[in-house]
């Protein structure tokens, strides 16, 4: 696959309603689709998959419903970056609920995303860069021990006017 954003092929037995990518067999590109419904016929076991193309990438010549047998190869793919982003978000929520510190949170997040040596917020920024999301890159290196403005002001000496 040429597109690094598209992950592994989805097993038709594990296909769920939601966003995914579809590979067009006659052309080498992937279009984002939203799967609306999946119906299985009892007698034949054929899966009827109804989907909607997201955006203007496809065209009118692509049908919005296809039939597949569970033994056939699936044309649908899952975006790995979206799944890693969801796992990272859930890790941050778990830390907020349980009151964990940043250390264990970053270890759990690095196991889920595969990005080593960074805290969860830095991992999130890196996943955004991989996904191509533009935005300001905040400095996430200092979390503790940062001087506040108040502390800096208290260390200043008084002017000669107020000296006693």
Q: Are the CB atoms for 78 and 3 separated by under 8 Å?
A: no
- Return the closest-CA partner of residue 41 out of 68, 20, 62: 68
Angle at 100 between CA 95 and CA 102, to 5 degrees: 85
Please tell me the predicted confidence (pLDDT) of residue 48: 92
Quote the tokens at residue 103: 């250390």
pLDDT of 1 above 50: no
Quote the tokens at residue 71: 């033994």
The ranges assigned to domains in the chain are 12-77, 80-131
How far, in Å, CA of 5 to CA of 19, rounded?
A: 14
Residue-averaged pLDDT of the chain: 77
Express each pLDDT in 12-57 by its tens digit. 877 888 888 887 666 667 788 888 999 889 888 899 999 888 876 6
Close Cβ partners of 127 (under 8 Å, ≥ 6 residues apart): 81, 84, 85, 88, 113, 115
Element (H, E) at 146: none
Q: Are the CB atoms for 32 and 19 separated by under 8 Å?
A: yes
């Amino acid at each position: 696959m040429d597109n690094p954003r598209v992950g592994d092929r989805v097993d038709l037995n594990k296909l769920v309603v939601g966003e995914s990518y579809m590979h067009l067999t006659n052309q080498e590109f992937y279009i984002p689709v939203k799967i609306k419904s999946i119906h299985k016929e009892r007698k034949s076991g054929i899966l009827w998959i109804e989907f909607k193309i997201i955006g203007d990438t496809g065209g009118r010549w692509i049908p919005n419903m296809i039939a597949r047998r569970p033994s056939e190869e699936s044309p649908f793919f899952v975006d790995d970056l979206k799944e890693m982003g969801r796992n990272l978000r859930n890790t941050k929520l778990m830390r907020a609920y349980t009151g964990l510190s940043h250390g264990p949170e970053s270890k759990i997040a690095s196991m889920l995303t595969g990005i080593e040596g960074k805290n969860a917020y830095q991992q999130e920024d890196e996943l955004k860069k991989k996904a191509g999301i533009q935005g300001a890159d905040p400095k996430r290196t200092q979390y503790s021990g940062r001087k506040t403005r108040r502390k800096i002001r208290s260390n200043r000496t008084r002017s000669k006017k107020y000296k006693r």
